[in-house]
C-alpha cells in the first residue's frame, strides 16, 4: 500500500479547502484531496453573494454586521468568532478582488452591494446593502478564482480521491488540575481512489477538513448529491464530538416540489412573497424588514401560511415569489440563472408570473467544533494538535442556530484562510506523528464489507426512506413526537443498512460502493441530528419545536455536543454521549428577536 507524506493535507476542494490551500501551499508541502474535481464542489452552486461591510453604496460598518450575525443566529453564536468574521470580511472580499474575481460594479467602479435577509443598518433599523456579488453566480466565480490561484501557486490536487478515515492516535495526558485524559493526535488520512479502487495513506503533520455540508440527509434540498457529510461523520466515528447538529437551515425559496434554490438575492432585488390571497404576508410576521427577515423566520411564516389554508396551487402547498413588478432588464442583469431555473424546471415565466416556492433544506449550522484559529476541539477545551476544520463542515460557531444569507461564502473565505495559515505554521515546528500499526485496516474492512456483503437491501431505497422520514418529521416544524418518529425510523434503517448488497463488485469507478459508504455517513448524521433535536426542548433559530415554542435561555443557552461513546445512552440511543458547551459572549446580551 502506498504511503504519501505531506506537511499539510487538505480534505476538500470547495471554497474553504481551496482558500486554505492557497495559504498552506505557499508555506508548506501541501496536498488537496477531493472526491470531486475541484470546480464541481458545491461552492460553485452558490448564487446570491458574499457579505462584507464595505459601505460602498451606503453607510455600514463591521460592528453592525457582527450584531446582525449574532441576532440572526438567535444568540447561540460564539461572539468572538462573529467579530473575527465580520472584521476580516472586508479583506476577504478584497483578497478575492485582487485574485481576479469579476464582481458586479457600481457606475463609479466600486464593488456593488445588494440587500440580503437579516443584514441591517444600525442594529435592525432597515435593510442594508452588504452582499457583494457577481450576478447570481457568486459561488461559481469564487470557486473558479480560487482554483486558478491554486494552480498559480502549484498546489497539488488529488482529484476523485475519497477520504474515508482520519487517523487519530491517543496518548495519556494530564490536565492542570491533575485529572488524566486521552489526548488525540492526528497522523493522517486514509483514501480510496475512485478510478482504481486503490486504498492509500496520506501521512501529514496537519490535516484540514473542508468537506462541506450534509443536506442529502433530507429529500427536499438545495444541496448537491455529493453533500453527504463525510467529514463530520468521519470525525465523529473517531471520537470527535459534533456540535449543534439539531440546527439545519431551511431556505425559504426552493422551487416548489423540487427544492432547487432560488437565491434570496431575488428578494434582495425587490421580489416579495405572496399567499393565495395575493397578500404580502411577511408584513405581518416581520413588520420592519418584511421579506428580508432571517431565513428561519421567513421559512416558518411560509409554512404557517400553508398550514392555515392560504397556500397556492391545486394542493395549496406552496406560496408565490413575485418578481413581476421588476423590470425584465433588471432581472436579466441581476438574476439571470435563477429565473432560468424557474422557466426550465417549473415552466413559469418570472417576468409575468409569480414563481411557486417552498422551504428547502439548505445548510447545516452545526459540525466539527473548532476555535477561531480553525483548530478542532476533542472536548470543550482540548485542541487536537494538527487537526483543523473550516467551512460548512465546521462549527466555529459563527452561525449559531440560524445562518444569515451570504455569511457562508464569507465564513469559508475567512476561516479557510485562517486554518490554512495555522496548519502550515503548525507543520513547520511539528514532527510527523507515527502512523498506527495497520493504518488502512478500518477502511479496508469497510470497503470489503460493502463490496462482499450479499444482502438484499438496496442503498437507494434506504436512502429514500431516510430522506422521506427526515422531510416529514424533522422539517421547519418539529415536535417531540415527530422527532422520536424520525429516530425510530433511523434505527430501523440502520438495521436494514447492515443487510445491503451492491451490484457492482468492481474496482474502477465503483460509485455503487461509494454511495453505500456515503449512506452510512448520512445515517450517522441523521441520528446525531435527531438525538440533538430531541434533547433541545425549546425553539431557537432553525430548530422550532411545536411542543416548546419559546426560546428558553435559562436552560438552553448552550451548545449541544454529541460524542460517540459505546458505554453511554442518550435519548434511548446507545453509543452516544450528550454534553453541552457554553456560548461565548463578548458584548451582546440576548434580546427578544423581533424584525
Ligand atoms: C444552491 C446553493 C446556493 C448557495 N448560495 C449561497 C450564497 O449565495 N451565499 C452564501 O454565503 N452561501 C451560499 N450557499 C452556501 C455555501 O455555498 C456553502 O455553505 C459553502 O459553499 C460550502 O463550502 P465548503 O468549502 O465548506 O464546501 P463545498 O463547496 O461543498 O466543498 C466540499 C468539498 O469537499 C470534498 N469532499 C467531501 N467529502 C469528501 C471526502 N470524503 N473525501 C474527499 N473530499 C471530500 C468535495 O469534493 C468538495 O471539494 C449556497 C449553497 C447552495 C447549496
Distance 300 CA to ligand 1 centre (A): 24
C-alpha cell at 47: 448564487
Decide: 79 and 409 in contact? Cβ < 8 Å.
no
Question: Is it true that domain 441-555 has CATH number 1.10.1200.10?
Answer: no
pLDDT in tens, 46-58: 999 999 999 999 9
- How far apart CA 173 and CA 185 sit, in angstroms, is 12
pLDDT of residue 573: 87
Q: Among the atoms of ligand 1, which is closest to the Cα of residue 211?
A: 34
- How far apart CA 293 and CA 415 sit, in angstroms, is 26
pLDDT of residue 109: 96
Buried b (16+ CB within 10 A) or exposed e, 402-429: bbbbbbbbbbbbbbbbbbbbbbbbbbee
Max intra-chain CA distance, the chain:
71
Q: Among the atoms of ligand 1, which is closest to the Cα of residue 411?
A: 11
Distance 34 CA to ligand 1 centre (A): 12
Handedness of CA 86, 378, 543, 591 (dihedral sign): negative
Residues 457, 224, 233, CA angle at the centre, nearest 5°?
Answer: 60
* Alpha carbons within 13 A on the beta-carbon side of 322: 16
Q: Report, in this order, helix, strand and coil percent for the chain, each rounded to 5.
A: 35, 25, 35
Q: Is the CB of 183 under 6 A from ligand 1?
A: no
Q: Is the CB of 520 under 6 A from ligand 1?
A: no
Buried b (16+ CB within 10 A) or exposed e, 225-248: ebbbbbbbbbbbbbbbbbbbbbbb
- How far apart CA 320 and CA 331 sit, in angstroms, is 17
pTM of the prediction? Answer: 0.97
Q: Among the atoms of ligand 1, which is closest to the Cα of residue 392?
A: 26
* Cis preceding linkage at 397, omega within 30: yes
Range 58-73 average pLDDT: 98
Beta bridge partners of 249: 363
pLDDT of residue 312: 97
Mean model confidence pLDDT for the chain: 97
Range 256-262 average pLDDT: 96
Is the pLDDT confidence value at 572 over 90?
no
DSSP 595: -
Distance 591 CA to ligand 1 centre (A): 32
pLDDT of residue 418: 98
Range 128-138 average pLDDT: 96
- How far apart CA 528 and CA 565 sit, in angstroms, is 12
Decide: 197 and 510 in contact? Cβ < 8 Å.
yes
Task: Strands of 221-294 (E only): list them.
Answer: 242-243, 248-255, 272-274
- How far apart CA 412 and CA 419 sit, in angstroms, is 10
Asked whether residue 262 is marked as a ligand-binding residue, the answer is no
Query: Could you confirm whether 418 is annotated as catalytic?
Result: no
SS3 580: strand
pLDDT of residue 361: 98
- Nearest of 395, 408, 420 to residue 584 by alpha carbon: 395
- How far apart CA 549 and CA 532 sit, in angstroms, is 17
Choose the residue to mutate in 139, 140, 345, 413 for probing ligand 1, maximizing ligand atoms within 8 Å of C-beta: 139
pLDDT of residue 577: 96
Q: Among the atoms of ligand 1, which is closest to the Cα of residue 143?
A: 29
Q: Is the CB of 16 under 6 A from ligand 1?
A: yes
Distance 489 CA to ligand 1 centre (A): 28
Residue minimizing CA distance to atom 49 of ligand 1: 13
The catalytic residue among 19, 238, 274, 295 is 295
Residue 2 buriedness (CB in 10 A; 0-12 / 13-18 / 19+) = exposed
Asked whether residue 162 is marked as a ligand-binding residue, the answer is no
Decide: 218 and 530 in contact? Cβ < 8 Å.
no
Band the pLDDT of 571: cuts 50, 70, 90.
Answer: confident
Domains 253-358 and 441-555 share a fold: no
Range 453-458 average pLDDT: 95
Question: Is it true that domain 253-358 has CATH number 3.90.1170.40?
Answer: no
Range 389-417 average pLDDT: 98
Q: Is the CB of 17 under 6 A from ligand 1?
A: yes
Asked whether residue 29 is marked as a ligand-binding residue, the answer is no
Is the pLDDT confidence value at 64 over 90?
yes
Asked whether residue 14 is marked as a ligand-binding residue, the answer is yes
Decide: 299 and 359 in contact? Cβ < 8 Å.
yes
Asked whether residue 313 is marked as a ligand-binding residue, the answer is no
pLDDT in tens, 158-188: 999 999 999 999 999 999 899 999 999 999 9
Q: Is the CB of 222 under 6 A from ligand 1?
A: yes
Range 214-232 average pLDDT: 98
Distance 411 CA to ligand 1 centre (A): 11
SS3 539: coil
pLDDT of residue 403: 98
Asked whether residue 46 is marked as a ligand-binding residue, the answer is yes
Q: Among the atoms of ligand 1, which is closest to the Cα of residue 407?
A: 11
pLDDT in tens, 486-538: 999 999 999 999 999 999 999 999 999 999 999 999 999 999 999 999 999 99
Q: How much of the chain, in percent, has pLDDT values that exceed 70?
A: 100
pLDDT in tens, 100-120: 999 999 999 999 999 999 999
Domain boundaries, the chain: 253-358, 441-555
Decide: 374 and 250 in contact? Cβ < 8 Å.
no
Q: Is the CB of 44 under 6 A from ligand 1?
A: no
Ramachandran region of residue 415, left (φ > 0), alpha (ψ -120 to 50) or beta? Answer: alpha
Decide: 355 and 318 in contact? Cβ < 8 Å.
no
Q: Is the CB of 46 under 6 A from ligand 1?
A: yes
Is the pLDDT confidence value at 416 over 90?
yes
Long-range CB pairs of 406-409, under 8 A, 24+ apart, other chains included: 406/48, 406/49, 406/50, 406/51, 406/116, 406/119, 406/130, 406/131, 407/51, 407/69, 407/72, 407/85, 408/46, 408/363, 409/15, 409/43, 409/46, 409/49, 409/50, 409/138, 409/139, 409/142
Q: Is the CB of 31 under 6 A from ligand 1?
A: no
Amino acid at each position: 500500500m502506498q504511503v504519501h507524506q505531506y506537511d499539510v493535507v487538505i480534505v476538500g476542494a470547495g471554497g474553504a479547502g481551496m482558500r486554505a490551500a492557497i495559504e498552506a501551499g505557499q508555506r508548506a508541502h501541501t496536498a488537496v484531496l477531493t472526491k470531486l474535481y475541484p470546480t464541481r464542489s458545491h461552492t460553485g452552486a452558490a448564487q446570491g453573494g458574499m457579505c462584507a461591510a464595505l459601505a460602498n453604496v451606503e453607510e455600514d460598518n463591521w460592528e453592525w454586521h457582527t450584531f446582525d450575525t449574532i441576532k440572526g443566529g438567535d444568540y447561540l453564536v460564539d461572539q468572538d468568532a462573529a467579530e473575527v468574521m465580520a472584521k476580516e470580511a472586508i479583506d476577504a472580499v478584497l483578497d478575492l478582488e485582487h485574485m481576479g474575481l469579476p464582481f458586479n460594479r457600481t457606475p463609479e467602479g466600486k464593488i456593488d452591494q445588494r440587500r440580503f435577509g437579516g443584514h441591517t443598518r444600525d442594529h435592525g433599523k432597515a435593510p442594508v446593502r452588504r452582499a457583494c456579488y457577481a450576478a447570481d453566480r457568486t459561488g461559481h466565480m469564487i470557486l473558479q478564482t480560487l482554483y486558478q490561484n491554486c494552480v498559480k501557486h502549484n498546489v497539488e490536487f488529488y482529484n476523485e480521491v475519497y477520504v474515508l478515515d482520519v487517523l487519530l492516535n491517543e496518548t495519556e495526558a494530564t490536565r492542570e488540575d491533575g485529572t488524566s485524559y486521552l489526548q488525540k493526535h492526528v497522523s493522517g488520512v486514509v483514501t480510496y481512489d475512485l478510478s482504481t479502487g486503490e486504498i492509500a495513506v496520506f501521512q501529514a503533520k496537519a490535516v484540514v477538513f473542508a468537506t462541506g455540508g450534509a443536506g442529502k440527509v433530507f429529500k427536499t434540498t438545495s444541496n448537491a448529491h455529493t453533500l453527504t457529510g463525510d467529514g463530520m461523520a468521519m470525525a465523529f466515528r473517531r471520537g470527535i464530538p459534533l456540535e449543534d447538529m439539531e440546527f439545519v437551515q431551511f431556505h425559504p425559496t426552493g422551487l416548489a416540489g423540487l427544492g432547487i434554490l432560488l437565491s434570496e438575492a431575488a428578494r434582495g432585488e425587490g421580489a416579495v412573497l405572496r399567499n393565495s390571497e395575493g397578500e404580502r404576508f411577511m408584513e405581518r410576521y416581520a413588520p420592519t424588514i418584511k421579506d428580508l427577515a432571517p431565513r428561519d423566520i421567513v421559512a416558518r411564516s411560509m409554512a404557517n401560511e400553508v398550514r392555515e389554508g392560504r397556500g397556492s396551487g391545486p394542493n395549496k402547498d406552496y406560496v408565490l415569489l413575485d418578481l413581476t413588478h421588476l423590470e425584465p432588464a433588471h432581472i436579466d442583469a441581476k438574476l439571470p440563472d435563477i429565473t432560468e431555473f424557474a422557466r426550465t424546471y417549473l415552466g413559469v415565466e418570472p417576468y409575468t408570473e409569480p414563481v411557486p416556492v417552498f422551504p428547502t433544506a439548505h445548510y447545516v449550522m452545526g459540525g466539527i467544533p473548532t476555535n477561531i484559529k480553525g483548530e478542532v476541539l476533542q472536548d470543550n477545551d482540548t485542541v487536537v494538535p494538527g487537526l483543523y476544520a473550516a467551512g460548512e463542515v465546521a462549527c466555529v460557531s459563527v452561525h449559531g442556530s440560524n445562518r444569515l444569507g451570504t455569511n457562508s461564502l464569507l465564513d469559508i473565505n475567512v476561516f479557510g484562510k485562517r486554518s490554512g495559515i495555522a496548519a502550515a505554521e503548525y507543520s513547520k515546528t511539528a514532527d510527523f506523528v507515527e502512523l498506527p500499526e495497520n493504518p488502512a485496516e478500518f477502511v479496508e474492512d469497510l470497503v470489503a464489507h460493502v463490496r462482499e456483503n450479499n444482502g438484499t437491501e438496496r442503498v437507494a431505497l434506504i436512502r429514500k426512506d431516510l430522506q422521506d422520514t427526515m422531510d416529514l418529521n424533522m422539517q421547519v416544524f418539529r415536535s417531540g413526537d415527530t422527532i422520536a418518529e424520525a429516530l425510530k425510523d433511523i434505527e430501523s434503517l440502520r438495521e436494514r443498512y447492515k443487510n445491503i448488497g451492491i451490484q457492482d463488485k468492481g474496482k474502477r469507478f465503483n460509485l455503487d460502493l461509494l454511495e453505500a459508504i456515503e449512506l452510512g455517513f448520512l445515517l450517522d448524521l441523521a441520528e446525531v441530528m435527531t438525538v440533538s433535536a430531541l434533547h433541545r426542548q425549546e425553539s431557537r433559530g432553525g430548530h422550532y419545536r411545536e411542543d416548546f415554542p419559546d426560546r428558553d435561555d435559562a436552560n438552553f443557552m448552550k451548545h449541544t455536543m454529541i460524542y460517540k461513546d459505546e458505554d453511554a445512552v442518550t435519548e434511548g440511543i446507545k453509543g452516544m454521549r450528550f454534553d453541552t458547551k457554553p456560548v461565548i459572549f463578548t458584548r451582546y446580551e440576548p434580546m427578544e428577536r423581533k424584525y
